Amino acid sequence: MASSKPITTDAVRHRAADGTELAYWVRGRGAPLVLTNGVTTTTNFWSHLAPRWERDHRVLSWDLPGHGASSPARSAPSALIAEQPELLVRLMDEAGIERAPQIGWSTGCQVVLEMYRRYPERCSALVLLLGSAGRVLSTATLPLPGPAIEWLVRHTPHTVFGAAARVLAKVAHAPGGQLAPRAFGLIGKGTTRDEAALITEHLTRVDTRTMQAMVASAQAHSAWEILPSIAVPVLIVGGDLDPFAPADTVGVQMHALCPQSDLLRLPQGTHTALLDHASEIGVAVDDFFLRRGLLA
Residue 274 counted as domain residue: yes
Quick one: CA torsion of 68, 177, 240, 50, rounded to 10 degrees?
A: 30
Q: Is residue 157 a part of any domain in this protein?
A: yes
What rounded mean pLDDT belongs to the chain?
92
Range of the domain at 228: 12-291
Q: What is the pLDDT of residues 232-267, one digit of tens each?
A: 999 999 999 999 999 999 999 999 999 999 999 999
* Ramachandran sector of residue 217 (left: φ over 0; alpha: ψ -120 to 50; beta: rest): alpha
Q: Which residue has the higher pLDDT, 50 or 4?
A: 50
Residue 1 falls inside a structural domain: no
Report the pLDDT averaged over residues 2-20.
72
Whole-angstrom distance between the N-terminal and C-terminal Cα of the chain? 14
The residue with greater pLDDT, 174 or 14, is 14
pLDDT in tens, 127-140: 999 999 999 999 99
The answer as to whether 4 is a domain residue is no
Domain annotation covers residue 135: yes
**99, 60 contact by CB (below 8 A):** no
Residue 106 lies in a domain: yes
Residue 5 lies in a domain: no
Contact assessment for residue 131 and residue 273, using Cβ atoms and an 8 Å cutoff = no
Q: Please state, in angstroms and rounded to a whole number, the distance separating the CA atoms of residues 214 and 211.
A: 5
The structural domain count of the chain equals 1
Task: Tell me how crowded residue 272 is: count the other CB atoms within 10 A of its CB.
Answer: 25
Is residue 3 assigned to a domain? no
Answer yes or no: are the C-beta atoms of 66 and 214 closer than 8 Å: yes
CATH number at residue 92: 3.40.50.1820
Q: What angle do CA 193, 64, 27 make, to 5 degrees?
A: 80
The amino acid occupying position 73 is: A
Strands 12-15, 21-27: parallel, antiparallel or unpaired by DSSP? antiparallel
The answer to whether the predicted template modeling score (pTM) of the entire model surpasses 0.85 is yes
Q: In whole angstroms, give the CA distance from residue 208 to residue 214.
A: 10
- pLDDT tens, 164-199? 888 988 888 888 888 888 887 788 888 888 888 888
